[in-house]
Amino acid sequence: MPPAAPAPDLFVVLGATGDLMERKLFPALYAISGPKGGEGARPLRVLGASRRAWKDEDFRAYAVTSLVQGKVASSAEARRWADASVAFHSFGDDPNAGIATLARRIADEEKAYGLSGNRVLYLALPAEAFPPTIAALGAASLSKGPGWTRFVIEKPFGRDLESAEALNALIHRWFEEPCVYRIDHYLGKETVQNLLVFRFANMLFESVWNRDRIEQVEITVAEDLGLENRAAYYDETGALRDMVQSHLTQLLTLTAMEVPTNLEADQVRNEKVKVLRSLEPIRNEDIVYGQYGAGRTGGLPVPGYLEEPGVRPGSPTETFVALRLRVSNWRWHGIPFYLRTGKRLPEKLTRITVRFREPPVWFFGQGDARTVTANRLAITLQPDEGFSLGIEIKRPGHEIRLETHELHFLYSEAFGPLSDGYQTLILDILRGDQTLFVRADEVEEAWRVFSGVLSNPPKVERYAAGSWGPAASDALLLEDGHTWSPP
């Protein structure tokens, strides 16, 4: 006889009526536990919870709408999955009383549906709701269960070093660190994970991945959109807290880290923490803040940040950050890492560009023939996932004239569409693999890097929507004789 199917695990989402559930979590959970589940598929019972006075049927209809509008499943497929696997619990406005009733509902679900006793508790809540919810989960004894319990929390992990330390202390009061999964969804992207393979499985690159062969490293995370109805959150947060301290810093650590002894989660994360501890203090001349004014994106006029609905009059919030960081260790001493992110830039783009040094001796002729373009490696994380390497070649003809051409690899050409990062991360949570999740000390070290900037921020400079940021961003690189790589 074939082995019996494993009992389903319980996946509990607190804040399940929000945008994250609709756009990301429902499609990922369906991909894992639905009828078309591929590699890593496993049975799940999904229990959504929030303050809304919804019933099971309301939440199931929400799931169907999400899957159909996202073109993940047909209406009939989505309905069958939702009816079989999705439920809802309303816990009202009082966290303590509401979470106590949720604990009873969890026990009832596990008994009624013969679940495994394994639980994921996923906080998809506003940051201000984290502390009371975590305390209520602990008070209701939901930090332990009949099987394993894994606690998942979305960023932001605090607003500064002090608040991050306080949040970690509260989490650790109830949940041990091996059970805690801090999600930075950028780490779920295939191309981010491929950074480790690209660097450490290809001696061609790892052997030149150092100060002797590399002149500069750029990390750009550009957004062409504005606030998109997030003014209440963004105007209190800004680009440095929202993007730099998390996404860009994570990409920096993966680009600069040393070879781990193995691919166990803590070995990889140990090397990332070493990078953060090696960063030199950020000086005033190392960072540029910008805020977009009116301009044009996609050929259409758009308002400036201060004209966006919900933004405080005269708000000083930065929508653009460019900064220069230096990793003070043997591999990277003296090599600048330039980080840049912003809203209302010309296009949506996430790219790491490594510029190698020019040849030390040039002997191919005089005049134009002497022009050489340094080799550039561009690792694109979105939208066209892959990489390209610019190399110099000789143009046909008698004279020695050079042109730059690119060797390239695209994931879409080799493998077709990639799965969403949330699907990867949720599967890792269910497997108990923390490699792609941020550890407590990593969070705190990342905040420590930016503590000086947060306490003494630079003046915000205006830039036109649809441009690549304020002129001071270009001047930052020109000080070193460098320029931003073309998109």
Q: What residues are labeled active site?
A: 247
Q: Which two tokens stand for residue 277?
A: 């501890």
The DSSP symbol for 242 reads I
Closest CA to 385 of 356, 426, 415: 415
DSSP symbol at 429? H
Which of helix, strand or coil describes residue 186?
Answer: helix
| SS3 per residue for 334-376 | CCEEEEEEECCCCCCEEEEEEEECCCCCCCCCCHHHHCCCCCE
d(CA 173, CA 363): 66
Three-class secondary structure of residue 54 per DSSP: coil
Residue with tokens 């004014």: 293
Residue 97: which residues within 8 A CB-CB, separation 6 or more?
91
* Of 441, 85, 52, residue with least CA distance to 272: 441
* 402-410 and 386-394 beta bridge pairing: antiparallel
In angstroms, the Cα distances linking 460 to 238, 287, 425 are: 11, 11, 36
Nearest to 484 by CA among 190, 164, 216, 133: 216
Q: Is the Cβ–Cβ distance between 470 and 290 less than 8 Å? A: yes
Spatial distance between the Cα atoms of 242 and 319, rounded to a whole number of angstroms: 10
- Omega before 309 within 30 of 0, i.e. cis: no
- CB of 319 closer than 8 Å to CB of 439: no
Look at residues 60, 81, 71, 61 and name the one whose alpha carbon lies nearest to residue 23: 71
CA geometry: angle 76, 80, 81, nearest 5 deg: 120
